[in-house]
Amino acid sequence: MTQAQLVFDPLSADFARDPYAVYSAMRQLETPYYYEDVDSWMLTKMADVEAVASDRTMVRSLDDQLSDGARKAGQRKINWHDMPHHERFVQTNLLESEGATHHRLRTLVFREFTRAMIARQREAIQTFVDAKLDRLSDLRDFDFIEDFAAHVPGHIIGRLLGVPDEHCPQLRIWSESVVRFFDVGRGQDDKALAEQATKEFYLFLADLVTERRKSPQEDLLTQLMIHHDAGRLSEDELIATAMLILMAGHGSTIDVLGSGMHALLKFPDQHRKLRNDPNQITTAVQEMFRYEAPLPYFHRFATRDCVIGGQSFRAGTRFGLLYGAANRDPDQFENPDKFDITRTPNRHIAFGKGAHLCLGNHLAALDMDVIFSTLNRRFAKIELAAGEPDYKRGLSVRGPKSLRISVTPA
């Protein structure tokens, strides 16, 4: 197949059903696939994706190397202009920064997200999951995502950061509105929604910071406020960091809870294996991240001429890092399309690699560990209740829109 023969339409129903067939065809091309819509070279092989993600000369943004005029022109090209709040708090944050600024911001919050610190949350997650399932105990059939999974990550991240529980449903709405605008094919309506959501989110967080100043708590927001008062980060950086943490792990964890549950239902032998040996949960969860990476696409810019996937590129080239595709690369994984809960080693890249490696990976894994362990203890049987689920359309997110299951208590 040649580049011209390959059909790549990330907004299509076919792609949502099975992006991996397209990724596989891309991987077999002689050189990376050029995706004109976003002026990017799409990388699908693990070796190429890893090489770019771990290369410090590959950056998420070229803004600090550009004149003001060139930066504004670049913003217009991707329709990220005229969005004052989005520009302040979403386009400028820990994830979008590099070098010394990135290091400073990441160091301020890193300690809270180490495996040991996150392990302290286990009991709180368990208590919340048990209470949520208690409330569903009369139902034999429910939407795993809307009725259950969607409530957990926001509550846990909110708790860590210091957002009162009653605001968690709103956090999800804001997060999803902002994340949708990262995807390809974004329209003017998505743009208005993303700007409005960012503004409301900002005002909400600014109020919360004011409250913390009056009465400090044992939470991350209070710590960020202390760092701010000590001159270690600006007011905008404080808000943008809190917003990023609340957003980055929200929809992604909900999506992989949905696709992870779907995988267990599609591969009943694997589900049985996990039930028979609950200690396999750690490798099972990592396999869920590999099998359906919920954030399958990020990008980098080259800051110098380079050779990637056997082809030379000039400085300024934009690469698409298809983490979801790399996770199915047969050169990296045996039987990559098989969902294998005991897969070891499992060097997947669902959380990225290098300087921007996901800060919340231990938290996401702990949420999943507690949830799937608890479901298998409480239910003797879990089955699909309404046929195969539809997956969301787009390139940047991956997960089922809904997932109706029927359950038989243990």
> Where on the chain is the footprint of ligand HEM (CB under 6 A)?
53, 60, 94-95, 106, 157, 244-245, 248-249, 252-253, 256, 294-295, 298, 323, 350-352, 356, 358-360, 363-364
- CA dist 41 and 299 (Å) reads 9
* Residues in the chain, total: 410
Residue 53 CB, nearest approach to ligand HEM (Å)? 6
The whole-angstrom distance between residue 102's C-alpha and the CA centroid of its chain comes to 19
Pick 201 or 407: Cβ nearer ligand HEM: 201
C-beta separation of 106 from 98 below 8 A: no
Closest CB to ligand HEM among residues 363, 375: 363
* Nearer of residues 343 and 407 to ligand HEM, judged by Cβ: 343
Integer Cα distance of 86 and 199 in angstroms: 8
Residues 305, 313: contact at Cβ < 8 Å?
yes
Q: Residue 81: is it exposed, middle or buried by C-beta count within 10 angstroms (0-12/13-18/19+)?
A: middle
One-letter amino acid at 164 equals P
To ligand HEM, the closest distance from the beta carbon of 297 in angstroms equals 9
Residue 186 CB, shortest distance to ligand HEM, in Å, is 18
Our CB check for ligand HEM shows the closer of 260 and 309 to be 260
Tokens 């949708």 map to which residue? 180
Least distance from ligand HEM to the Cβ atom of residue 68, Å: 24
- Is the Cβ of residue 248 or residue 405 nearer to ligand HEM in the bound state? 248
Asked, as a colleague might, if the bond just before 336 is cis with ω within 30 of 0, I would say: no
Cα 338 to chain centroid, rounded: 22
CB of 367 to ligand HEM, least distance (A): 7
Neighbouring-strand partners of residue 377: none
Q: Which is nearer to ligand HEM, 60 or 88 (CB)?
A: 60
Q: How far is the CB of 41 from ligand HEM (least distance, A)?
A: 16
24 close to 268: Cβ distance less than 8 angstroms: no
Inter-residue contact 228 to 267 (CB < 8 Å): no
CB of 252 to ligand HEM, least distance (A): 4
Radius of gyration (C-alpha) of the chain in whole angstroms: 21
Residue with tokens 């590959």: 58
Furthest-apart CA pair in the chain: how many Å? 64
Distance in Å, CB of 30 to ligand HEM, minimum: 26
Specify the residue, 194 or 350, whose C-beta has the smaller distance to ligand HEM.
Answer: 350
Residues 399 and 262: beta-carbon distance below 8 Å: no
Sheet holding 379-384, edge to edge: 141-143, 404-409, 379-384
Do the bridges between strand 318-322 and strand 40-43 make them parallel or antiparallel, or are there none, so unpaired? parallel
Nearer to ligand HEM, 106 or 180 (CB): 106
Q: Which residue has the tokens 């809960």?
A: 341
Give whole-number Cα distances, 256 to 9, 262, 348, in Å: 22, 9, 14
Q: Which is nearer to ligand HEM, 149 or 407 (CB)?
A: 149
Q: What's 31's DSSP letter?
A: S
The nearest distance, CB 295 to ligand HEM, in angstroms, is 4
- The nearest distance, CB 81 to ligand HEM, in angstroms, is 22
Complex with ligand HEM: residue 194 or 247, whichever CB lies closer: 247
